Amino acid sequence: MQIISGVYKNRPIESPNNVHTHPMGSREKNALFNMIAPYLPGATVLDTFAGSGALGLEALSRGAKSCVFIEKSPKVAKIIEKNISSLGENVVKNTTILIKNIENFESDFKFDIVIADPPYDKFNQIKIDYLSDFVSDSGILVISHPEKSVVNLPNFELLKSHSYAAARISVFQKK
């Protein structure tokens, strides 16, 4: 696995080797970042269900200012830390790793971009609703979810949505 584009293009990323973490495929990841490209320069990003940190690191590579990674597994969070460190001091100082469940995350800060890529068998509208509270005004919420699931976010406008096999990537903007 590697970073696809930006200043860290082609840099390798280590992936957790467990059944609970399934990294987004490169085709889907590239499509996701093409959809949100105009919003990335200088953005603050929240990468939830972070896994390897690949999505947050891709955002940083493509111009995001900073990223907070949320990962519930301490063992997997160590891999995120290793991936961040491999990209150098500039990335290290612009990132934070939080080891906690999504529903335990609290912040007064609102993010320009919130990325949610939960395990498909654990997709939960209530968690998405909770994460939507951390999106800044006119900010973006990116959700990777099972194609057949319906995501209902009343205070958001659906900007784009594309299917990839059994997965769907939906990009919402806060009204």
Determine how many CB atoms are found less than 10 A away from the CB of residue 92. 12
Angle (CA) 34-79-145 rounded to 5° is 40
pLDDT at residue 58 in the model: 96
pLDDT digits (tens, 9 = 90+) for 45-68: 999 999 999 999 999 999 999 999
| Strands 135-146, 156-164: pairing kind | unpaired
Question: What tokens were used for 164?
Answer: 């990839």
| Strands 95-99, 111-116: pairing kind | unpaired
pLDDT at residue 32 in the model: 93
| Strands 66-71, 135-146: pairing kind | unpaired
Question: What tokens were used for 20?
Answer: 């609970």
d(CA 55, CA 40): 12
Taking 90 as the threshold, does the pLDDT of residue 152 lie above it? no
pLDDT at residue 4 in the model: 94
Selecting from 3.40.50.460, 3.40.50.150, 3.20.80.10, 1.10.40.30, what CATH number does the domain 26-66+73-100+108-174 have? 3.40.50.150
Cβ pair 23, 59 in contact under 8 A: no
Taking 70 as the threshold, does the pLDDT of residue 22 lie above it? no
Cβ pair 111, 139 in contact under 8 A: yes
Q: What pLDDT band is residue 150 in, cutting at 50, 70 and 90? A: confident
Q: What pLDDT band is residue 18 in, cutting at 50, 70 and 90? A: low
* Torsions phi, psi for 66 (to 5 deg): -155, 165
Taking 70 as the threshold, does the pLDDT of residue 20 lie above it? no
d(CA 25, CA 4): 11
Residue 48: DSSP 8-state: E
Q: What is the pTM of this model?
A: 0.94
